[in-house]
Structure 1
């Protein structure tokens, strides 16, 4: 399985990093310029470190493989997904590799998962999310569950990443299921 993971400048880089660790299969990675800055600020980790997880592509490289519908991926996950990125995708603006790749995923009928992390949401944000959901994208807000008394930050992150893996059909043991 081949996955495209994009990280944008929304807070919550920890979700994207955990996803890259847990996701099974071949990974291609794009990080926006703001995503790089937020990653450094929130985690102290530099962008180059992500090459340990897969092939890195520059967000301004519109000649990268994922810019074309002929390049096969099984799913694209934007984690975290800023509302700015979501708005561009929702309105057909494909001015970066991330937004172009998402546009390609939608037009090719491939799985597109957007892990949003903004709150509260304006009516405009909700309408953009609804438009993308109607177009086939999965909107997966980073809203951790507390079903099994998660107490640590890592457990809360694992819950969200586990929900992403569930959407991709991947087995995991990141959280205890409700029985």
Structure 2
């Protein structure tokens, strides 16, 4: 009986040491993510983001990201590119994780602000049509659901889905993204 009790205590101590190495409050991480817009046309629509993550208590964290995205819209026989440059900030809540917290599910909410450029700033199209707006300041909000898996003590693999609402955008105001990424925690 004592051997079982000591085995359970030793397992809990070993587990707490491993747990203590991950998601420590005030721990900082650098994140890189590549995302795509679902149902993209023949040309690839994509988004890159990079930023910082700062953990708070219980696996929750603050995030601040810079993003660049390019999306093409079909116009007669050509594609019109829309480039977006965004700053994103918010908070991610720990929802679920295994006992060792090697795999976690997080739900994040945040705000977005940035700049959008249509057709690289050119108002005139190839058929002499004119665009009414080529540049816009945009703002909005986003929600993100992510699955985060620790590959090592410091390296985290991310899979996420986002839903975002952007005001003043030439794209659809409501859009979704699916992405994968990597985070390195210091």
TM-score (ref. length: structure 2):
0.25
Bigger RCO of structures 1 and 2 (CA < 8 A, at least 6 apart): 1
TM-score (ref. length: structure 1):
0.26
Larger helix proportion of the pair: 1
Kindly name which structure, 1 or 2, has the bigger radius of gyration based on alpha carbons: 2
Larger strand proportion of the pair: 2
